[in-house]
Amino acid sequence: MKPIKSRKNKERITRTVCTIIVALGAFIIMIPTFWMLVTSVKQKDNTQTMPPEWLPRESARVEVDGKNYFLYDVNIDGEIKRLAAIRLNPEKSEFRDPDDFSHVYYAPSQQAKKVRIVKFHWENYRKIWKESLTPFSTFMKNTMKYSSLAVIGEVVSCALIGYGFARLRAPGKDFLFYLVLATMMLPWAVTMIPNYVLFTNHIPNIINKIFNVKINLTDSWLPLIIPKFFGSPYLIFLVRQFVMSIPKDYDEAAVLDGASYFKIWAHVIMPMSKPVLVSIAILSFMYHWNDYMGPMIYLNSNSKQPISVGLANYQLMYGGTPYNLLMAGSVLSIIPLVVIFFFLNRYFTQGIVISGVKG
């Protein structure tokens, strides 16, 4: 047996080492996010500098009579003055006092130092929000619409389906549940093409034959939203796991009272399942907010696109050089996710945990 004191010491050292490693890792992992924020408030000319500026620092300017001049700190007879540079010359540069422009100073350029200030160009956000070819406000609205409809569809359908699998007994149930699990593993790439043909071709044809109505599902949101009302295997699984953990006494009491299964679902099970419903709503929202391939396949017009496609197209259009605007757009695009994350942190991880630990 080791003496207790040295063991405690050892534990303390381990803990300190762990904390240092964790903090270091967290620092590194936050650098990209920090860099995105910093770039988003820089001036365009200041994004591509060597070495990179870790703060949105830029050369200070002053405007006099409609003209822009760089500001310099100039050493004039041992006294540092902040002056506007008119002409730079190694031996005799001309400076003027920005407050009293007639006041001229001369000094060798060695004695002058460019003034650097930290300036946040919040107007980058305004620019991308309003002034790009298709304003980002349109993309955001589209994404919000798409995500919320998809969330409603998935939450309602999965709540029904998950309850069925968790509580009700029926022949063939086990087999069907294995199918749910199997489709969880199914690569979406396999069903992507036939689903596209189904929505753009077969469904309009069938509807045309039966009802004699012409509908057009190309460049429409419907093919992206309709399937969401038929449940998603992973979320069904989460709801089922949660409902199974609710004690059966609750619904049995309701059955004795003669309540229908639908009533039990609505009045007993659903109120108790709020945590898992919030969890699946978040997972669904995150997925659809970031969804890129679906909208890219089904939508053509720029004004209908979600933020993911809008951002990517913006980059293609401008060659990816206005990094400050691109980063401002990226920040805007993740704000809703970050807000949800900080308010509903608990539910965020809960869903993932249910699936992994009990799976």
Partner 1 sequence: MQKKKFRMSKTAKREARWFYIFISPWLIGFLVFTLYPMAASAFYSFHNYNIVNMDYIGLSNYMELFSDQIFLKSLVVTGTYVIVSVPLTIIAALLVAVLLNQKIPFVSFWRTLYYLPSIISGVASALLWRWIFNGKFGILNNVLAIFGIVGPDWFNSEKWAMPAYWIISLWGIGGSMVIYLAALQGVPTALYEAAEMDGATSIQKFFKITIPMISPVLLYTLITNMISSFQVFTMIYVISGGLGGPNYSTMVYVLYLFKNAFQWTRFGYASAIAWILFLIISVLTVLMIKAISKKVYYVESGN
Choosing from 62, 149, 150, 161, the residue that interacts with partner 1 (CB under 8 A) is 161
Nearer to partner 1 (CB atom), residue 221 or residue 265: 265
Nearer to partner 1 (CB atom), residue 120 or residue 229: 229
Which residues 117-156 are close enough to bind partner 1 by CB under 8 A? Answer: none
Structure tokens at 140: 């955001």
Choosing from 146, 164, 242, 305, the residue that interacts with partner 1 (CB under 8 A) is 164
Binding pattern for the stretch 232-271 against partner 1, x by CB under 8 A and - elsewhere:
----x-------xx---------------xx--x------
Choosing from 152, 270, 297, 344, the residue that interacts with partner 1 (CB under 8 A) is 297
Which residues 317-336 are close enough to bind partner 1 by CB under 8 A? Answer: 320, 323, 326-327, 329-331, 333-334
Is 14 an interacting residue with respect to partner 1 (CB under 8 A)?
Answer: yes
Contact criterion met (CB below 8 Å) for 60 and 117: yes
State how beta strands 112-114 and 104-107 pair: unpaired
Choosing from 136, 163, 237, 242, the residue that interacts with partner 1 (CB under 8 A) is 163
* Radius of gyration in angstroms for the set of CA atoms belonging to the chain, rounded to a whole number: 31
Nearer to partner 1 (CB atom), residue 27 or residue 106: 27
Nearer to partner 1 (CB atom), residue 89 or residue 260: 260
Residue 35 Cβ, how far from partner 1 at the closest point, in Å?
6
266-274 CB contacts, 8 Å cutoff, 24+ apart: 269/163, 269/167, 269/243, 270/159, 272/246, 273/159, 273/239, 273/242, 273/243, 273/246
Residue 132 Cβ, how far from partner 1 at the closest point, in Å?
14
Is 189 an interacting residue with respect to partner 1 (CB under 8 A)?
Answer: yes
Dihedral through CA 283, CA 233, CA 145, CA 350, nearest 10? -20
Choosing from 3, 6, 51, 211, the residue that interacts with partner 1 (CB under 8 A) is 51
Residue 120 Cβ, how far from partner 1 at the closest point, in Å?
19
Is 218 an interacting residue with respect to partner 1 (CB under 8 A)?
Answer: no
Q: What are phi and psi of 93, to 5 degrees?
A: -90, 150
Contact criterion met (CB below 8 Å) for 223 and 150: no
Residue 129 Cβ, how far from partner 1 at the closest point, in Å?
15
CA–CA separation, 132 and 145 (whole Å): 21
C-beta atoms surrounding 167 within 10 Å: 17
Structure tokens at 76: 């004039």
Residue 277 Cβ, how far from partner 1 at the closest point, in Å?
16
Is 89 an interacting residue with respect to partner 1 (CB under 8 A)?
Answer: no
Q: What's at 14, amino acid-wise?
A: T
91-98 CB contacts, 8 Å cutoff, 24+ apart: 96/64, 96/69, 98/62, 98/64, 98/69, 98/71
Candidates 45-53, 55-63, 82-90, 107-115; binding stretch for partner 1 (CB under 8 A): 45-53
CA–CA separation, 171 and 174 (whole Å): 8
